[in-house]
Chain A
Amino acid sequence: MKKILMATAATVAFAGMANAQESISIGVILGFTGPLESLAPGMAMGAEMAIAEVSDSGLLLDGTTVSAVRGDSTCIDSSAANAAAERLITSDGVSGIVGADCSGVTTSILTNVALPNGMVMISPSATSPALSTIEDNGLFFRTAPSDARQGVVMSEIIMGRGIDTVAVTYTNNDYGLGLADSFQAAFTEMGGTVTLVAAHEDGRADYSAEVGALASAGGDALVVAGYVDQGGSGIVQAALDTGAFDTFVFPDGMVSQALVDNFGADIDGSFGQNPGTDSEGAGLYQAMATEAGYDGTSPFSAEAYDAAALILLAMQAAGSTTPADYAAEVMNVANAPGEQILPGDLARGLELIAAGEDVDYVGASAVELIGAGESAGNYREIEIDGGSLIVVGFR
C-alpha cells in the first residue's frame, strides 16, 4: 500500500513537473472589489498584457505558455484575500503572483500564504514602509516605491509651492498610517509644521466631525492620505461644504479620474503625486495600452505590467518556473548591468537571457529595485486645473 501511495505521489509530482514545462499560470491578485476597485482593472490589464506578450513569443523556457488567473484581494478583507491566494496556489497551481494591491492584504498574504508555500510575490502597488523590513525569505518584491519615499517627494512638492503648514488625515489602515507617518517625519524635517494628524474611517456617511477637528487645527492645505472610492472623497466633500479647506494635497490613493469626476473644478489648485515616469518606457507602454483598448496612465497599471514581466524574465534567467529557483534572479534581471529592456520588448529580453547575456529590465515604470527589492520610486506631480488632472512634472 505504502509503495503504491509513494508511486502515485511520485507520478503526480513528475506529471506536475512535466506539465510545468509546457504551460504555467501566473496569479494576478488585486482588489477587484473594495476601495481600490476603480484602479484594479487597469492594473490587471497591464499584468495580463505582459503575460500574453511572453506567452505569444514562445521564447520562455522552450515554448512554455503562460496564462493569467485572477483573484480578488478585496483590498481590505485579509481573510478573503488569504483564501483567494490560497486558491491560486493550491487549486490553480500558479508559479508566481502579481499582487496584492493594498498594503494590509499584501502583508497578510505574504506572511500567511506566500511564505508557507514558498511563492514569489511582486506587488505593483503596496507602498507601506513596513513592507521594506518584513521577513520575506527573499520572496517578496514590489515595483512600487515605499511610502517613505513618497513622504519625502510629497513634502518637496508642498514646500515647492510655498506652503509650510498643513493638516493631515489618513485612512485608518496600514497604507494610510504608513504614509502619514513618513510624510510627517519628512515634512517636519524640512521645516514645515503639521498641525494635526487625524485618522478617518472608511465607509461612513458623514465626515463633518473629522473635518471640524482638522479645520480647528488649521493649516494652508489638507493632505488626504485616503482612498478616492472611500472616505477620502467624503473628507474632501465635507471640507469643501464647510469651507474648511480649499487646497488639498492628494497622494497616490486619491489621484484618479474618479477624483475629478466627483469634484470637478471645485478642487482647482489642489495638487498631488502618484508613481509614474516620463521615461521612454512609459510612453511605449501607454501606446500599447491604448492599442489594447484601456488607459495605460491609470495608476499602477505600468507597475503591474512590470511586475508580471519581472517574474517571467526571472524564470527565464533561472531556467526554471519554480519560485525557489527564480526568486534570486528577480533583482538581477531588474537592475544593471545588461541590455535595457523596454515594454513590448520582452521577446528580445527572453532571447538575450537564453543566449546567456545580462539584461536590465527598465520597463514601463523605469524599474530599479533597491534595498529589499522595492522600486526606487519615480513620481509624477499632478495638479487639478479647470476640473481635470494635469501632469505638471516628474520627480
Chain B
Amino acid sequence: MDLLNALVTLLNFVIIPATAYGAQLALGALGVTLIYGILRFSNFAHGDTMAFGTMVVILCTWALQGAGITLGPLPTALLALPIGIAVTGLLVVGTDKMVYRFYRRQKAKPVIYVIASLGVMFILNGIVRFIIGVDDQRFADGERFIISAGTFRDMTGLEEGLAFRTSQGLTIVVALIAMALLFWFLNRTRTGKSMRAFSDNEDLALLSGINPERVVMITWLIVAALATTAGVLYGLDKSFKPFTYFQLLLPIFASAIVGGLGNPVGAILGGFLIAFSEVGVTYAFRKVVAYILPESMEPSGLLQLLSTDYKFAVSFGILLIVLLFKPTGIMKGKSV
C-alpha cells in the first residue's frame, strides 16, 4: 500500500506534469530544430511565434464560444487550432518574404539571421501584447479533469490523490499525433525527402533540381503548425501570458541543443530530458521517500535538490554541460 502511495505521489507531482511539459517543449524544439536544419539559423522569434499562434486561437475560441459552438468535454480551442495554424502560417511565410529572403539572397552569415530573428521577435512581441494585452488569458473550457484527485482517492481508497487533467492527456495525445505526422512527412513523402536533402547538403540539393524557395516555404508552414500547436497546448495546460511564452525560449532552445540541433528525434528526446530534469530536480521527494522507507528512517529534510525558484537554472545547467562535453548534442546534430 505504501509503495502504491509513493508511486501515485510521484505520478501526480512528477511524472504526469513532466510528461505533459516535455511534450510541449518537444513540439517547440522540433520547430526550432527544423529551422536550424533547413534555414541554418537559430530562430529567436520562435517563442513569440508560439504566442502569436496561441493568440489567434484564443480569439477564435472566444468567437466560437460566443456563437455557442463547443466541443463538449474537449476544449473548444481544438476547433480553432486549424485557423490559428493557417494565420500563423501566413505570418511566418510573410516574415520570410519580407525579412529572411533578403538575407538569403545576400548569402548572409548565420549570426546576421539570428540578429534579424531577434528583431522579428521584438515586433511579434509587441503585436501580441498590442492585440490581446499583457495579462493572463484563460481559454480552457470543457471537462477539466480526466481523473480528479478526489475521485481517484474515493475510487482506490489510497491516501494520495492522482489528478490527470484533460489538458495533460490532450497534450500527450496531440503531441504524439503531430510527431508521427511530421516523421511520416519527412521520411515518406517526396517533399519531405527533398527537405532532408536540402538540409544535408544545400549545393547537392540545388544541383538535383530541388527548388529552395519551395522547401523554405514548406518548412515555415510546418514550423507554424508545430509552434501554434505547442503554444495552444501549453496555454491550455497552464495559462496564456505573452511574457511566459517569451521565457519559454530558454527551455525550448535547451531542448533542441541538448538533443542535437537539426535532429528531430533529438529535439523530442531533449524536450523530455529538460522537462523531467526541471521538475525532478526542483521536486521535494520527502513524501515519496517517507512512504517507501520504514517510519524510523523518515527523512527530516525536504529532499529537494534545488528550490523551485531555480527552475530556469536547470535548463541552463544542462545546456552548459552538454555544450562542454558533447557540443553536437545527444543525437549528433550540427554543432552550434
Contacts and interface: CB of A to CB of B under 8 A. Distances in A.
A212 B163 contact: no
A212 B244 CA distance: 20
Contacts of A243: 12, 148-150, 152-153, 161-163
Contacts of B43: none
Nearest to B311: A209
Interface string B3-15: 0000000001110
A209 B148 contact: no
A208 B13 contact: yes
B234 A196 contact: no
Contacts of A215: 13, 287
B282 A209 contact: yes
Contact of A218 (B161, B287, B309, B311): B287
Interface stretch (B29-37, B191-199, B202-210, B235-243): B235-243
B284 interface: yes
B304 interface: yes
Given A204-B244, A205-B244, A241 B163 contact: yes
B17 interface: yes
Interface residues of A, number: 24
Nearest to B145: A241
A242 interface: yes
B153 A209 contact: no
Nearest to A218: B287
Nearest to A203: B243
A217 interface: yes
Interface in B281-326: 282-288, 302-304, 307-309, 311
B40 interface: no
Contact of A210 (B153, B239, B285, B308): B308
Nearest to A195: B302
Contacts of A199: 309
A212 B284 contact: yes
B165 interface: yes
Q: How would you classify the secondary structure of chain B's contact residues: helix, strand, loop or mixed?
A: helix
A264 to B, nearest CB: 12
A205 B279 contact: no
B284 A217 contact: yes
Given A210-B308, A212-B13, A215-B287, A203 B241 contact: yes
Interface string B145-179: 10011101100000001110100000000000000
Contacts of B308: 198, 200, 209-210, 212-213
Contacts of A117: none
Contacts, number: 80
Contacts of B234: 205
Q: How would you classify the secondary structure of chain A's contact residues: helix, strand, loop or mixed?
A: mixed
Interface residues of B, number: 39
B109 to A, nearest CB: 35
B244 A213 contact: no
A201 interface: yes
B287 A216 contact: yes
Interface string B268-290: 00000000001100111111100
Contact of A213 (B153, B162, B165, B302): B302
A205 B238 contact: yes
Contacts of A241: 145, 149, 163, 165
Contact of B285 (A203, A205, A216, A244): A216
Contacts of B12: 242-243
Contact of B163 (A204, A209, A234, A242): A242
Contact of A206 (B13, B238, B287, B288): B238
Nearest to A210: B308
Given A196-B302, A241-B165, A209 B279 contact: yes
Contacts of B240: 205
A200 B309 CA distance: 7
B244 A242 contact: no
* Most chain B Cβ neighbours within 10 Å, of A210, A215, A217: A215
Nearest to A237: B239
Contacts of B17: 208
A213 B243 contact: no
B309 A201 contact: yes
B4 to A, nearest CB: 16
A208 B234 CA distance: 14
B286 A216 contact: yes
Contacts of B309: 172, 199, 201
* Most chain A Cβ neighbours within 10 Å, of B14, B153, B304: B304
A203 B238 CA distance: 12
A242 B13 contact: yes
A208 B308 CA distance: 10
A204 B246 CA distance: 12
Contacts of B163: 241-243
Interface string A207-225: 0111011011110000000
Given A243-B12, A243-B163, A213 B284 contact: yes
A201 B162 CA distance: 26
A241 B21 CA distance: 16
Nearest to A242: B163
A210 B286 CA distance: 14
B283 to A, nearest CB: 5
A69 to B, nearest CB: 26
A199 B282 CA distance: 13
Contacts of A217: 284, 286, 302
Contacts of A242: 12-13, 149, 161, 163
* Most chain B Cβ neighbours within 10 Å, of A217, A234, A243: A243
8 contacts: A212-B282, A213-B283, A213-B307, A215-B13, A215-B287, A216-B287, A217-B284, A218-B287
Question: Sorted from nearest, which 3 A-B pairs have the closest CB atoms?
Answer: A243-B149, A243-B161, A216-B284
Interface of B: 12-14, 17, 21, 145, 148-150, 152-153, 161-163, 165, 234, 237-241, 243-244, 278-279, 282-288, 302-304, 307-309, 311
Given A201-B309, A216-B283, A241-B165, 6 more contacts: A208-B17, A209-B283, A216-B284, A217-B302, A242-B13, A243-B150
